[in-house]
């Protein structure tokens, strides 16, 4: 339906971004990693997937086509809706998901909020023949040393964690940040620390 949206970023919230296209503000639900790359006032192009429900039309925005394809593919597994599909793309990079499914890695899939042991096994069984091999992946966007903490913190809160849990997770992954922090990788690491707790 709507394959991509190109326009000026009007606003960025904890879970979505508003892009102005021809005088109309379109709200796109995005992962924290995607939101971290957007700046209000700058233009952006995001691949999109529209989810049509009886009572809503929801646009989901993605960092790239690969992430969009993963989002759409995982929804073909029984029991996976748009919310869980978005959580999968937030926690796992497309190639990490491909590797987890190819190697029957249930533990990696259960790190995603909303996926338990049986759900992970079902996803592996249903997608193993269709997801393909890792493609080499995209390098995630780098962030300044101060802003990555806010972006990871906001991302965790957008996924439903409390402020206190988010602060603890950010502190736990701070040593991994280095001089050019990768917000997506740090967010995934923070989610791993929270899922262990």
pLDDT tens digits along 116-170 = 999 999 999 999 888 887 877 544 444 444 577 888 887 887 777 788 888 889 8
> Which tokens in the block code for residue 189?
């690491």
Residue 64 pLDDT greater than 80, yes or no: yes
Cβ neighbours of residue 53 closer than 8 Å, sequence gap 6 or more: none
Q: Round the average pLDDT of the chain to a whole number and report it.
A: 87
Q: How many CB atoms lie under 10 A from the CB of residue 51?
A: 19
pLDDT (0 to 100) of residue 140: 43
Would you give the end-to-end CA distance of the chain in angstroms? 41
Torsion of CA 171, 175, 178, 183, to 10 degrees: -40
Q: How far is CA 140 from the centre of its chain?
A: 12
pLDDT (0 to 100) of residue 189: 87
Task: Report the alpha-carbon angle 65-66-68, nearest 5.
Answer: 65
Percentage of the chain beyond pLDDT 90 is: 56
Percentage of the chain beyond pLDDT 70 is: 94
pLDDT band at 197 (very low <50, low <70, confident <90, very high): low
pLDDT (0 to 100) of residue 191: 85
């Amino acid at each position: 339906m709507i394959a991509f949206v190109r326009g000026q970023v009007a606003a960025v919230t904890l879970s979505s971004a508003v892009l102005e296209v021809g005088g109309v503000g379109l709200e796109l639900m995005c992962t924290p990693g995607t939101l971290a790359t957007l700046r209000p006032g700058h233009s952006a192009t995001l691949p999109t997937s529209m989810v049509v429900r009886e009572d809503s039309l929801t646009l989901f925005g993605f960092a790239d086509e690969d992430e969009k394809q993963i989002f759409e593919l995982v929804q073909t597994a029984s029991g996976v809706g748009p919310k869980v599909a978005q959580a999968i793309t937030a926690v796992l990079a497309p190639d990490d998901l491909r590797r987890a499914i190819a190697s029957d890695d249930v533990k990696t899939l259960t790190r995603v909020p909303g996926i338990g042991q049986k759900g992970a096994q079902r996803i592996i069984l249903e997608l193993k023949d269709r997801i393909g091999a890792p493609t080499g992946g995209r390098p995630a966007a780098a962030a300044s040393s101060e802003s990555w903490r806010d972006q990871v913190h906001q991302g965790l809160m957008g996924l439903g964690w409390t402020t206190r849990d988010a602060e603890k997770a950010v502190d736990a992954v701070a040593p991994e940040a280095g001089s050019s922090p990768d917000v997506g990788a740090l967010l995934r690491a923070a989610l791993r620390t929270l899922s262990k707790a």
